[in-house]
Amino acid sequence: MELTRDEALNYVKPYLKVKRYEHTVRVADQAVELAERFGADIRKAELAAALHDYAKYKPLDEMKRWICEDRRLPKDLLDYHHELWHGPVGALMLEREIGLHDPEIMSAIRCHTTGKKHMSILDKIVFLADYIEPGRDFPGVDEVRDKALTSLDRACAMALKNTIVFLISKERTVYPDTFHAYNNLI
């Protein structure tokens, strides 16, 4: 599969709202910047970022069916907020629809919302680019942007901490992979 950046962006565009598409373009640019900084595969980072939110607006029943039917998807996703489904399901939808087979790109898309225990450099770059792209204004995001100038691991750990603290403050559940990612980086 020799997908270009523009082909990837044009593929996802019809499935996204305008704001989400603009976010996606910024994540792709941010991922390129981080890949250059930390020595990851620039093309893979750009493609994974361009595709990362593909399934964001897919119908919940369709995503639920994927989780139930594909053995590669952990069933416990169904016990947690549906906001977590679009990464893992999106990667597999793209595999079927456009022949996305690159395991590194698929992994980065899969874990972009929660992180996971042993994240690759590419996983971390897409996760972090999604968190710090210039359109984000979460409390604490500027400190994470600063940290992302020097340490990929520490910046990811800060983003995970902020997310965990935010979710707990709202009395929302936290998917175990989010804790695994955090613990592994601390």
Q: Which residues bind ligand DGI (CB under 6 A)?
A: 23, 53, 56, 80-81, 83-84, 112-114, 130, 163, 167, 172-175, 178
Q: Closer to Fe ion at the Cβ: 102 or 130?
A: 130
Cα-flanking dihedrals φ and ψ of residue 54, to 5°? -50, -45
Going by C-alpha positions, the residue among 86, 57, 60 that lies closest to residue 73 is: 86
State the minimum distance, in angstroms, from the CB of residue 2 to ligand DGI.
26
Q: Which stretch binds Fe ion (CB under 5 A): 30-38, 75-83, 127-135, 147-155?
A: 127-135
- DSSP assignments along 29-96, one per residue: HHHHHHHHHHT--HHHHHHHHHHTTTTTTS-HHHHHHHHHH-TTS-GGGGGS-GGGSHHHHHHHHHHH
Q: Which stretch binds Fe ion (CB under 5 A): 7-15, 33-41, 70-78, 126-134?
A: 126-134
State the minimum distance, in angstroms, from the CB of residue 52 to ligand DGI.
7
123 is a site residue for Fe ion (CB under 5 A): no
130 is a site residue for Fe ion (CB under 5 A): yes
Residue 174, binding choice from ligand DGI, Fe ion, none, Cβ under 5 to 8 Å by partner class: ligand DGI
Q: Please tell me the distance from the alpha carbon of residue 15 to that of residue 5, in angstroms, as a whole number.
A: 16
Fill in the amino acid letter for 4. T
Q: Within 10 Å of residue 15's Cβ, how many Cβ atoms?
A: 16
Decide: 151 and 38 in contact? Cβ < 8 Å.
no
Q: Closer to ligand DGI at the Cβ: 108 or 121?
A: 108
Going by C-alpha positions, the residue among 114, 64, 112 that lies closest to residue 91 is: 112
State the minimum distance, in angstroms, from the CB of residue 113 to Fe ion.
5
Instruction: List Cβ neighbours of 172 (8 Å cut-off, separation of 6 or more).
Output: 81
53 is a site residue for Fe ion (CB under 5 A): yes
Pattern 134-163, Fe ion, x by CB under 5 A: ------------------------------
State the minimum distance, in angstroms, from the CB of residue 98 to ligand DGI.
20
**Which residues make up the interface to Fe ion (CB under 5 A)?**
53, 130
